[in-house]
Amino acid sequence: QHYDTVGVAPLLEPADFKGILADKAFDIHWIVDAIRAQGACVAIPQRKNRLDRRPFDGALFKARHLIENFFCKLKEFKRIAMRSEKTDRSFEAMIYLVGAIINSR
């Protein structure tokens, strides 16, 4: 059992991104400082016990809800949820196909 933040440091170092959307589990000083040092926007809601409050863009955080809904719809397809494709390329093609089906609904 590990916390979600254990594998974050290697992902932040070589990253080139404009912003990050994350949940309250990632509201830790060193993560927020590392993201801001790269000049990226931080859209992480604050924990209720945080002493030093920082500005938070709630409208940007609402976009995270749309992304999570898409992944839930993607996993409704059994082939994707079970990962029944043998190669990475065919799995990627199936994700594109299912994404097109979801978009056409």
* Helix runs in the chain, H state only: 8-12, 29-37, 58-74, 78-82, 88-104
Structure tokens at 78: 């059994």
Identify the weakest region by mean pLDDT among 16-20, 42-46, 77-81, 91-95. 16-20
**For residues 95 and 3, what is the distance between their CA atoms, to the nearest angstrom?**
28
Structure tokens at 18: 């404009």
Tell me how far the alpha carbon of residue 63 is from its chain's centroid. 10
Q: What is the pLDDT of residues 24-70, one digit of tens each?
A: 888 888 888 888 888 888 888 888 888 888 887 888 888 888 888 99
Mean pLDDT of 11-34: 84
Domain boundaries, the chain: 1-57
